[in-house]
Amino acid sequence: MTVKKRRAKHLSRFKAWRERYHLKPVISVLLYLIIPLVSIYLIIHQYPDLGKARFFRMVYWIVPFGLALFAVTLIQEKHAKGTRSRLGLDALFVALAMGWLFGFLGGKTVVENTYDSWKFAVDVGPVVGIALTGTAMNFVHDILEYLAHRDATSAGGSPQWWRAQAFLRRLTKGPKKDDGKVIIRTE
C-alpha cells in the first residue's frame, strides 16, 4: 500500500470519526465542568484555612451552568450552520457562558477571602469585563458564521430542504424549446 493510499485511508477514518463524535461538547465538559471542579477540590484540600463557603457557592453556580452549556453544545451540533436555530443556540451558549463566568466568581466581581488572620480583597471587575468582551466577540463570530452559511440554508431550512426545493423547481419548469428542438434542462 502506497503512502498516499495509507494517508487517504487514515483521513477517511478520521473524517468518519469526526462526523460521528463532535469535539465541541467534549471541550465544553472539560472547560466548564471537569477542570473547574477539580481545581476547586484541589484548592479546598490544599489550603484548608481558606473559607470554604465561597468555594461551595462557586460549585452551586458552576454545575448547573456547566451542564446547561454541555446540553446546548450537544443540541447545537445537530443543527446545520446558517440556520436560525443554530444562531439562537449560539446566543444561548454565549449567555450561559457569561452566567457561568459570573458564577465562577461567586456572584460578585470582588474576591474577598481570609487566610489565617489576614483579610484580602481583589477587584477583578476589569478582568471580568475583558472576559465578557471576549465572550461577546464569540457571538459576533457566530453571527458572521450565520451570514456566511445562510445562502446554503435559505429561509432557515436545512441544506437538504434547499436542495429538494431547487430540484423541484427544475422539474416544474418543463422543457426548453430552441429552434424547434426540445432540449431538456439539466441545470
Tens digit of each residue's pLDDT (9 = 90 or more) over 60-77: 889 999 999 999 998 888
Q: How sure is the predictor about 36, in pLDDT bands with cuts at 50, 70 and 90?
A: very high
User: Exposed, middle or buried: residue 76 (CB in 10 Å: 0-12, 13-18, 19+)?
Assistant: buried
**Residue 138: pLDDT band with limits 50, 70, 90:** confident
* Sign of the dihedral through C-alpha 153, 159, 164, 166: positive
Cell of 29: 465538559
Residue 95 binned pLDDT confidence (cut-offs 50, 70, 90): very high
Which tens digits make up the pLDDT trace of 173-187? 655 555 555 555 555
The reported pLDDT for the residue numbered 92 is: 94
Q: Which residue has the higher pLDDT, 185 or 144?
A: 144
pLDDT band, residue 34 (cuts 50/70/90) = very high
Confidence of residue 93 (pLDDT cuts 50, 70, 90): very high
Question: Can you give the pLDDT at residue 148?
Answer: 80
* DSSP, residue by residue, 35-78: HHHHHHHHHHHH-TTS-HHHHHHHHHHHHHHHHHHHHHHHHHTT
Over residues 95-101, the mean pLDDT reads: 89
Residues forming a β-bridge with 114: 119
Average pLDDT of the chain? 78
Supply the pLDDT for residue 96.
92
